[in-house]
Structure formats: structure tokens, C-alpha cells
Amino acid sequence: MGNRLTFERAGHGPVEIEITHGVIAGWTGRNADAVNHHIEELAAIGVPAPSTVPLYYRASDLMFTTAPVIQCLDDTSSGEAEPTLIDDGTRLYLGLGSDHTDRKLEAYSVAHSKQICPKPIAPVLWDFDEVAGHLDDIRIRSFIREGGDWVPYQDGTIGSIRPLAELVAGSPMTKGGTRLQPGTAMMCGTFAVLSGGVRAAEEFRMEMIDDRLGRRIEHVYTMVSLPVIA
């Protein structure tokens, strides 16, 4: 039994999808310099460089959530806005997710740091076929709450990420190279932080903007810290 989530399929009504496989694609920048920059900013907080690029981390299906509140150990985690592909076996969808990651644990193991944190997803999906022709133009932004204000944190277009079809083909959960296995959710990589470096925040806001079709997806979530008991 997987993780059953309900989404609004934009323009078509609600859809219920059972997530049974989770994949986090990392180091997916299309520009090598941008990838190296992200490696360097994470190295600044002690995160080791990847063994290969791109890299696919597996994640529990139970970690994916559309809830507005998540709980994490300590206060050392932060979000990363990412295009997210979900395949229900009938259709492939494009959504918006946050690869929320424990930054302290990341210095020990990237895989462990990703597995320990929930993966928020906006409760709205777009049919992939409706956006496939202009994916590169779709913009993703994120903000963190600091001092009571929303501070711009990330800003980029999907065009700065490796082609999503290429990421699907290289995924451990691919089906024939063009689709994901039914029930798979795959986060497809993120963007460098605008300024101030990678840092924790209790509130995270993200949006995905499609100017071609005049629509956007927005999601805000709060991170509640749980005490670390020795």
C-alpha cells in the first residue's frame, strides 16, 4: 500500500494518485558552471561532492505530502523548490515540490539527509502533455520567511535544468525510457540560492509560473522543529 494523495488536475478536476516510489534527482543543472556553483555552496556547509552527475537518490513514498505543515528533527533543515514529475500509470504530470533537506545531516550523507525530511508537494498538477512544448520557459521561484518578511531565495527556469525527458530516461524508476513506473514521484533538481547561502527557515513559499498558458502553482508550508533527545 502506497501513499495516497489527492491533487487538483488543473482544468480537469481532482485526481487521486497512489505514490509508491520516490526519487530525488540531484545535480541536474544543464550548465556545468551552475552545477559546480551549487556543489561549492553546499561544500561551504560541509556537504561532499557527488560521485556522479546527475545522481538519483531513492526516497520513501511516505515522505511525499501536500500538507501545509511538516515536522523535522532540530531546526537545521531547509527547502529547495523543484519541478516534480508524477506518473500515475495513465498520465505523466508536472508539479511543484520542495526537496526539504536536513543540512546538518547532509554533511554526513546526502542520501540520509533527504530521507529524513518530508517532501512537500503543491496540491495542483499540470498535465505534462500541456506543457511539454514550452517547459524551458516555465519559471520557479522560492522565498523564505526571515525577520517577518518573505525574502527571495531561488529563481530560475526549467530550461536551466537538464531536459526532464533525459532525467526520466536515466531514472532508476523509468519505464521504457519515456515514462516513470506507475506511482512514481520524482523531484528533478533545484536552483542556486540567490544570496546569503543555503540556510534553514521555518517557512518556505514556492511558485511555478507558466506565462504561456497564464497560470501558476503556489504552495506555502511551515516546518515545525522536534527536539533531539539524547
User: Residue 9 has which C-alpha cell?
Assistant: 488536475
Q: Where are the beta strands (DSSP E) in 60-189?
A: 64-65, 69-73, 77-78, 81-87, 92-98, 101-102, 119-120, 124-127, 139-146, 149-157, 174-175, 179-180, 184-187
Q: Determine the pLDDT at residue 1.
A: 64
Distance of CA 220 to the CA centre of its chain: 13
What pLDDT is attached to residue 33? 85
The reported pTM is 0.94
- For each successive 10 residues of the chain (230 residues), what is the average pLDDT? 93 98 94 82 81 92 98 94 98 98 89 94 98 98 97 98 96 92 97 92 97 98 95
Class of domain 3-226: alpha beta
The pLDDT score that the predictor gives to residue 41 is 77
